[in-house]
Amino acid sequence: MTLTARGLTVSATLGGKRIDVLRDLDFAIAPGKVLGLVGESGAGKSMIGRVLARSLPPGFSVTSGRLDFLRPDGESRDLVTVPGPELSRLLGDRIAFIPQEPLTALNPLMTIEAQFGEHLERLGLPASRRRARIVEALAEVRLPAPETLLERFPFQLSGGQCQRVLIAMAFASEPALVVADEPTTALDVSTQATIVQIMRRLQREHVTSLLFITHDLRLAARVCDDILVLYAGEVVERGPARAVSQAPRHPYTRALQAANPPLDGPLTRLVTLPDQMPGLAAFANLQGCRFAPRCPTRDAGCAASSPTLREVAPGHFVRCADACSVAAPAAPAVLRRLEAASSGVPVLVVENVAKRFAGKRDWLGRRSAGVDAVKSASLTVRPGEFVGVVGESGSGKSTLARLIMGLETPTGGRVLVDGQDVTQGGRETRAIRLGALQMVFQDPQSALNPRRPVERLVTQTMEAKGSNASEAQRLERARELLRETGLPPELIDRYPSQLSGGQKQRVNIARALCVTPRLLVADEIVSGLDVSVQAQILNLLLDLRAERGVGLVFISHDLAVVRYLCSRMIVMRHGLVVEEGETEAIFAAPKHAYTRALMAAAPPDDLDRPWPPDAAALAAAEG
């Protein structure tokens, strides 16, 4: 085996108590095989990579167990105890990493050639051969015209291109093991499919073992040979990818599966887990099964003793009592589509809107060519209607949202809100927009002021409207908003740093609802969230529509999410709307070649259907 964990335990000391962050992990990866680590944020997935690199946070340490790596000479070395100089030689050469955030991982001040060259120098490649090897490696990951990329900086490449550079660097030394930590999170479907296709091809060609860390069970079933599901630092299920995905035996694995909206078939309301993954401080107080507080099939015995992993089928192990692992889940409720108003003034009309960004001037005063971010796009949203906007990164989706909200001024066309022209901005049009529209941003962390408590955040728009509400009225409104968005009342005095990612996004939504808007504009608001948290946010939006008649412009690259939420959708490419219509009709029979390519790039629910698609389909989606 390339990598074998035996009884691996990582502990930390908090408040004088020892807490097992990872507890008694056992797994193995054979040469040329892919092991998927699946679980929510906080489950301990990335901690395994930190053990490999010996980069645990201060106060954390391996307290028992082994992590054996097979060297080329056939000798196994425990990475927990191997001397530092030997570990340094292994890392980067025999063990490589593909990180989650490519733009963060690459040095913004160094060209691609300079930082790739540093990596090759560390591997011992002579300077005279480095440039040719870089070009060869970039060509292996199918970057077009790789010679032209060498003098570019990371910010001059797209996220997908940067991720390909990191993959090329990881495989440059033909390592025995590659650790890919959420390598496709927040990428659009065609870029995700391309990245997966490239990784799998290189991994097979080099007979490399791959440790694939993800929160997406559907994707793991496609990429991996075996899957290991983690919850609160423990393995709750382990087995062949198809068995774990299609016939999950642990309630947590079933919950992750049920939280994913389907790409085809009947739509039912997503089943969500209550609460959230316990934090480290709570680990010390968990008795018995760590999942029991959130488990829908728990009984009194679950809190009394901690279950052990047991084999329920050849190679398929579950940490659960007999009753839980075979209990049939409750049938989910059928999703009911609400019809939008067919008459009356639309909340939003976008007529042939265009936005051209002027090119930048160089030091000689020469201006580069401008960019047409949006070209003659039109969109109508009626009261209570949910409309999806789909397309890859760079298709113009976010620019369209900024034009709707008045954050950018169109260079052509017009925008009407409740029948009033608000195209050119100004104080009056700002008041019209503020009364009818609110935006929910993609990154709740950067959208929330870290110095404000939740109470002041969710009522922030009252300040923008010049409200004379008293402190008591503002506090009461904050409490109402927390109730409406499913946030516990005790969060009202907390700050963003004290909230989970899902809680921050709910605060973001609560703030947008403060002035009772008629339409929300949501830009990739569930991108990168755990599927369980994503399901909570999606169901919340559906409830707000049913209870308050709120409409939605939902911008996303996730086709399954758009199908779940939206009754109508538009597809954008290179700033143009290339297809629009009823969501189910487009999914059943997409008419534009680009839409068909996007559909083909999304991982299908049926594991018997081939994926990723062939290179021609991916090129059509990317081009």
What does 536-557 look like in DSSP terms, one character per residue?
A: HHHHHHHHHHHHH--EEEEEES
What is the model's pLDDT at position 325?
53
- Token duo for residue 173: 């030394």
Interaxial angle between packed helices 159-171 and 189-205, expressed in degrees from 0 to 180 and rounded to the nearest 10 = 10
pLDDT at 187: 79
Condensed to tens digits (0 to 9), the pLDDT of residues 84-111 reads 999 998 998 899 999 877 877 899 999 9
Q: Report residue 402 as tokens.
A: 């900024």
| Residue 180 or residue 620, greater confidence | 180
Token pair of 333, please? Answer: 């409720």
> Residues 189-237: pLDDT tens digits?
888 888 898 999 999 998 999 999 998 899 999 999 999 999 999 999 9
- What are residue 381's DSSP bridge partners? 348
Domains identified in the chain and CATH numbers: 105-171 (no CATH), 348-450+516-589 (3.40.50.300)
pLDDT of residue 514: 87
Structure tokens given for 57: 């946070």
Residue 42 binned pLDDT confidence (cut-offs 50, 70, 90): confident
Q: Residue 215 phi/psi, 5° resolution?
A: -100, 0
pLDDT, average across residues 119-131: 93
**Alpha carbon 15 to its chain's center:** 33
List pLDDT tens digits, range 53-83.
899 988 899 999 999 998 877 889 999 999 9
pLDDT, tens digit, for every residue of 371-390? 899 999 999 999 999 999 99
Q: What is the pLDDT of residues 246-292, one digit of tens each?
A: 999 999 999 999 899 999 888 999 988 887 788 887 887 888 889 98
The yes-or-no verdict on residue 622 having pLDDT over 60 is no
Residue type, 466: G
- Is residue 326 very low, low, confident or very high in pLDDT (cuts 50, 70, 90)? low
> In the prediction, which pLDDT does 611 show?
87
Residues 497 and 529 sit within 8 Å (Cβ to Cβ): no
Contact 415, 362 (CB under 8 A): no
- What digits encode the pLDDT tens for the residues 153-177? 998 888 788 888 999 999 999 999 9
Reading the block at residue 251, the tokens are: 């309630």
- Work out the widest C-alpha separation in the chain, in whole angstroms: 76
Q: What is the DSSP string of 73-114?
A: TS-EEETTTS-HHHHHHHBTTTEEEE-S-HHHHS-TTS-HHH
- Kindly report, residue by residue over 554-582, the tens digit of the pLDDT: 999 899 999 999 999 999 999 999 999 99
pLDDT at 225: 95
Side chain identity at 438, as an amino acid letter? Q
Mean of the per-residue pLDDT values for the chain? Answer: 88
CA nearest to 77, candidates 61, 94, 63, 62:
94
Tell me which of 315 and 370 has the higher pLDDT. Answer: 315
Instruction: Assess whether pLDDT exceeds 90 at residue 327.
Output: no
- Report how far apart, in Å, the C-alpha atoms of 7 and of each of 1, 4, 35, 66, 566 are: 16, 10, 17, 7, 46
Q: What pTM does this model have?
A: 0.87
pLDDT attached to residue 441: 84
| Strand-by-strand arrangement of the 34-38 sheet | 95-98, 177-181, 209-214, 34-38, 226-231, 234-240, 316-319, 309-313
pLDDT of residue 306: 84
Cβ pair 184, 36 in contact under 8 A: no
Judged against a pLDDT cut of 70, whether residue 21 lies above it is answered with yes
